[in-house]
Amino acid sequence: MSSVSMGEVIGRLQQEGLLEQGQASLAPAELGNAALATPWYLRFMVGFGAWLAAVFFMGFFTLLTHSKPAALFFGALLLIAAIATRRLDRGDFLNQLAFAASLSGQLLILFGSDIRSATGMALLVLALQGVTIAFYRDKTHRLLSTLVAIAALQALFFEWKWPYAAPALAGLLAMAFTHFWLQGAAYSTPTRDRLLRPIAYGLVIAMFGLLLPSMFPPAFNNDNPFYQHARHLWLSTVLLGAVLLYLVHVFLKERGLRPFGPLAWAGYDAVLLLMWPGLKAPGLIGALIVLLIGFRRGNRLLIGMALLFLAAFLSAYYYHLSISLLQKSAALAGSGAVLLALRWALLKLLPREEKNHAH
Amino acid sequence: MDVLGQPATTSRLRHLYRSGILSAGAYERALEIAGITPDASAWRRFLDWLLAGLGAVLLLAGILFFFAYNWADMHRFAKFAVLEATLLVTVALAWRLGTDSHAGRAAMIGASVLPGVLLALYGQTYQTGADPYGLFLTWALLIAPWALIGRSAALWLLLLVLCNLSLVLWWTGVYRPPEWQGFAQGLGPMFGLGYALSDADLAMTLIALNVAALLSYEALAGRIEWLSSRWMPRLAMLAVLAILLGPVLHAIFDKHPDRLSVQLAPLAWLGITAAGVWAYRNWRRDLFMLAALAMEGIVIVTAFLVETLRLQDAGGMLFLSLLVVLMTGAAAYWLRLTAHKWEAEA
């Protein structure tokens, strides 16, 4: 946590002409409101209640009508009512009701649509998530909708037998959330930030989800089409490696260091070196991307997620190496020695104070 | 409450940005002033930490795998020597670094884990035929002094986990082995544990053990600085509530429960909830605990109404749905009110 107080930050901003006196005087009241923001476990409790209520809601409508057109009609009505109610934001009770109504409405629409094909169903799910992301003003709902939308896309790739699409999607998701997190406030207005932030979190989680098959290499030989996607993970590695190279480049530039100096080349070489084990374990590169972005933005949630997945992907990689224990021992110790040597080299090159600026 | 005296965090600054007080440029500059945007020395420390940590972990794993490779061929005295030497090193490190430092406490945790490995090796080497619960119980007794002097909540958690495991293994292995325990364990340890907890007497005994541990922790937390973190009692409470759910639901859905523990489960739940609400609202203010108790209450009340009212028609479903919404909304409202009250009193 920062040792600088809010008062000091506001004072400095005023001195630098970035904050007017009038606006600064409003800050204490707004900070008082911020202190009352909902903690995550409270949101979890509310979400859990909504799911439970949605189950009974569904039961109600299922028993009320056996007609699919009626289910479709009621589902659409529920969803519209949910969106309208949530936009009013009149307290926890109504927000709860809206969440449950939204989930139930979507399920009823899917049931009432009477679509038999997996492609059609996936497209409908995508469309519904697009509507809720755009119009349902709730960050938890937007996060869930993002995850459901990615899952629907994955189902489409499976149906259309596009084995390269899912691995490529992991790389594209990384590019998208990297762009969002690096741009920060310079990219979006406060309204757009409220829309994009939960989506960005959803993209991070979805990326990790798409890379999970790399943790189970024996599945690469499985004839199940689902696992055929796992055979093309090298595409994820290439795209994620490109994102990581870009990140190294951007961070060096931000610190005023030469983007093609010795330190930069050490960083690029480290990334390229990492892509070799990353061919079978792109999750390692994905986790490093999220870790670097999390540190850059001071985002503990991203850092925590990255460390968790880094540990998981690293463990799975070494576990599944088809070599003897002695060879694994050498591989592990060798990797450790390489990283320690890299640390020594980078600390030699990285200046202690800010100098060695780009000309 | 002095809001301007609070530390500058990302969420507070973002709140000012979203409310329109800070422009985009001012927000980014504020992150730099607050030190949230890392400067060169912060990046240096981060890379140092990341590469040193990962490198050390991989190197250590390599050493462990080397021993694993040679393990079968090593003489038994060599195996004991390796483990005991490692134990001595961790104890020496803990003594040298002191329990006030993170590294010293980490060494203490290592010194507390190794006795378990040593006992497992002893049992494997000499085939003593002892029951599995004996290993965990002996392990717990051996590290109890470490927990007392270790100044670490993590050590107390390890001790509590070992006590729980000892109890479960003694119960299922010696006292009252369940009928299909071997089959259940064959499906995996978690499945085996879940099946074991279907014995309501065992579940209630575990609840008593963990509630006692929770009460002890909370009683000491106000007086001892290193017991001030909240994650350990929160984990203990979650464990209590998770274990309690089984017997209570059993009591609700079983028309004629024969076991006394099942009959008493709802009373135990009411008692824990009432005491928990009072304690965490007035004594050790903790909104997380109140939220956990509220969630458990919503599930149990819903289950009770489903079984009692036998609402199987459309109207019944709608009633249950609205009831869940009402209960959750009321719980969220009450929790927010409690948080506001604490803020105002702070």
How many contacts, defined by CB atoms under 8 Å, are there between A and B?
294
Distance, CA of A328 to chain centre: 32
Crossing angle (nearest 10°) for helices B260-278 and B200-221? 20
Q: Which two tokens stand for residue B31?
A: 């992150």
Site from A38, A108, A339 to mutate, B interface, most B CB atoms within 10 angstroms: A339
Q: Is the pLDDT of residue A298 over 60?
A: yes
Q: Is the pLDDT of residue A261 over 60?
A: yes
pLDDT at B183: 64
| Closest-CA residue to A31 (of B336, B35, B1, B332) | B1
| Closest-CA residue to A294 (of B37, B48, B22) | B37
Residue A174: CA count within 13 A, CB half-sphere: 37
Question: Which amino acid, B125?
Answer: T
Judge if A344 and A255 occupy the same domain. Answer: yes
Residues 11-70 of chain A whose Cβ lies under 8 A from any Cβ of chain B: 12-13, 16, 18-19, 23-24, 26-28, 30-39, 41-42, 44-46, 48-50, 52-57, 59-61, 63-64
CA B83, B89, B90, B91 dihedral sign is positive
Model pLDDT for residues A184-239, shown as the tens digit of each residue: 766 667 888 888 899 999 999 999 998 887 777 655 555 555 566 667 888 999 99
Comparing A46-50, A214-218, A345-349, the range with the smallest average pLDDT is A214-218
Judge if A340 and A228 occupy the same domain. Answer: yes
Find, in chain A, the residue whose alpha carbon is nearest to that of B49.
A343
Say if A180 falls within a structural domain. yes
How far A230 CA sits from the closest chain B CA (Å)?
26
Mean pLDDT of B47-73: 84
A38–B50 CB contact, under 8 Å: no
Comparing A98-112, A286-300, B50-64, B261-275, the range with the smallest average pLDDT is B50-64
Q: Which two tokens stand for residue B243?
A: 């274990």
Say if A6 falls within a structural domain. no
pLDDT at A359: 35
Judge if A216 and A326 occupy the same domain. Answer: yes
Domain that includes residue A110, residue range: 40-155
Mean pLDDT, all residues of chain B? 87
Q: What percent of chain B has pLDDT over 70?
A: 96
Mean pLDDT of A261-267: 79
Non-local CB neighbours of B267 within 8 Å, separated by 6+ positions: none
Residues 36-65 of chain B whose Cβ lies under 8 A from any Cβ of chain A: 36-41, 43-44, 46-48, 50-52, 54-65
Comparing A3-12, A148-157, A236-245, B51-60, the range with the smallest average pLDDT is B51-60
Chain B CB contacts of A334 below 8 Å: 62
Nearest Cβ partner of B317 from A45, A60, A92? A60
Mean pLDDT of B284-300: 94
Judge if A238 and A341 occupy the same domain. Answer: yes
Among the candidates A140, A155, A170, a domain finishes at A155
How far B331 CA sits from the closest chain A CA (Å)?
9
Q: Is the pLDDT of residue A108 over 70?
A: yes
Find, in chain A, the residue whose alpha carbon is nearest to that of B48.
A343
pLDDT at A217: 65
Helix (H, G, I), strand (E, B) or coil at A19: coil
Q: Is the pLDDT of residue A2 over 70?
A: no
Tell me which H or E stretch contains B244.
Answer: helix B231-253
Judge if A148 and A234 occupy the same domain. Answer: no
Q: Is B28 on the interface with A (CB under 8 A)?
A: yes
Judge if A191 and A305 occupy the same domain. Answer: yes
Q: Is B142 on the interface with A (CB under 8 A)?
A: no
Chain A CB contacts of B320 below 8 Å: 56
Comparing A37-41, A66-70, A278-282, B188-192, the range with the smallest average pLDDT is B188-192
Judge if A174 and A141 occupy the same domain. Answer: no
Residue A356: which pLDDT band, with cuts at 50, 70 and 90? very low
Q: Which two tokens stand for residue B133?
A: 């619960």
Comparing A40-49, A112-121, B322-331, the range with the smallest average pLDDT is A40-49
Chain A CB contacts of B344 below 8 Å: none
pLDDT at B230: 87
Of the two residues B258 and A316, the one the predictor is more confident about is A316
Q: Is B338 on the interface with A (CB under 8 A)?
A: no
A60–B24 CB contact, under 8 Å: no
Q: Is the pLDDT of residue A357 over 50?
A: no
Nearest Cβ partner of B329 from A96, A295, A333? A96
Chain B CB contacts of A46 below 8 Å: 328, 332
Model pLDDT for residues B269-291, shown as the tens digit of each residue: 999 999 999 999 998 899 999 99
The β-bridge partners of A257 are A357
Of the two residues A149 and A51, the one the predictor is more confident about is A149
Could you tell me if B30 and B22 are in contact, meaning their C-beta atoms sit under 8 angstroms apart?
A: yes
Could you tell me if A287 and A313 are in contact, meaning their C-beta atoms sit under 8 angstroms apart?
A: yes
Question: Which amino acid, A91?
Answer: G
Name, of A176-185, A219-228, A264-273, the range with top average pLDDT: A176-185
Q: Is the pLDDT of residue A49 over 90?
A: no
Mean pLDDT of A265-294: 85
Say if A183 falls within a structural domain. yes
Q: How far is CA A98 from CA A85, A196, A250, B127, B294, in A?
A: 6, 21, 42, 62, 20
Judge if A340 and A316 occupy the same domain. Answer: yes
pLDDT at B334: 92
Chain A CB contacts of B48 below 8 Å: 343, 347
Phi, psi for residue A5 in degrees, rounded to 5: -85, 165
pLDDT at A227: 62
How far B180 CA sits from the closest chain A CA (Å)?
31
Q: Which two tokens stand for residue A208?
A: 């990790």
Q: Is the pLDDT of residue A333 over 80?
A: yes
Say if A322 falls within a structural domain. yes
Q: How far is CA A106 from CA A96, A127, A132, A142, A226, in A?
A: 16, 11, 10, 14, 26
Mean pLDDT, all residues of chain A? 84
Say if A5 falls within a structural domain. no
| Closest-CA residue to A272 (of A295, A244, A297) | A244
pLDDT at B1: 58
B31–A298 CB contact, under 8 Å: yes
What ipTM was predicted for this assembly? 0.80
Comparing A152-156, A326-330, B19-23, the range with the smallest average pLDDT is A326-330
Mean pLDDT of A109-135: 93
Q: Is the pLDDT of residue B328 over 80?
A: yes
Q: What is the C-alpha to C-alpha distance for residues B254 and B262, in angstroms, rounded to an integer?
A: 9
CA B88, B90, B95, B99 dihedral sign is negative
Q: Is B340 on the interface with A (CB under 8 A)?
A: yes
Phi, psi for residue B300 in degrees, rounded to 5: -70, -45
Model pLDDT for residues B200-255, shown as the tens digit of each residue: 899 999 999 999 999 999 988 878 877 778 888 999 999 999 999 999 999 999 87
Crossing angle (nearest 10°) for helices B260-278 and B231-253? 140
Nearest Cβ partner of B317 from A56, A190, A340? A56
How far A114 CA sits from the closest chain B CA (Å)?
22
Q: Is B174 on the interface with A (CB under 8 A)?
A: no
Chain A CB contacts of B51 below 8 Å: 339-340, 342-343, 346
B15–A18 CB contact, under 8 Å: no
Judge if A342 and A213 occupy the same domain. Answer: yes
Judge if A70 and A165 occupy the same domain. Answer: no
pLDDT at A351: 61
Judge if A184 and A148 occupy the same domain. Answer: no
Judge if A70 and A133 occupy the same domain. Answer: yes
Q: Is B222 on the interface with A (CB under 8 A)?
A: no
pLDDT at A330: 86
Mean pLDDT of A118-130: 95
Find, in chain A, the residue whose alpha carbon is nearest to that of B24.
A185
pLDDT at A80: 96
Among the candidates A155, A184, A203, a domain finishes at A155
Residue with tokens 């290993």: B135
Could you tell me if B168 and B189 are in contact, meaning their C-beta atoms sit under 8 angstroms apart?
A: no
| Closest-CA residue to B18 (of A180, A90, A170, A30) | A30
The β-bridge partners of A357 are A257
Say if A95 falls within a structural domain. yes
Among the candidates A111, A140, A155, a domain finishes at A155
Domain boundaries, chain B: 199-346
pLDDT at A268: 84
Could you tell me if A13 and B30 are in contact, meaning their C-beta atoms sit under 8 angstroms apart?
A: yes
Domain total of chain A: 2
Q: What is the C-alpha to C-alpha distance for residues A179 and A189, in angstroms, rounded to an integer?
A: 15
pLDDT at A125: 96
Q: Is the pLDDT of residue A84 over 90?
A: yes
Q: Is B10 on the interface with A (CB under 8 A)?
A: yes
Site from B1, B21, B235, B301 to mutate, A interface, most A CB atoms within 10 angstroms: B21
pLDDT at A229: 61
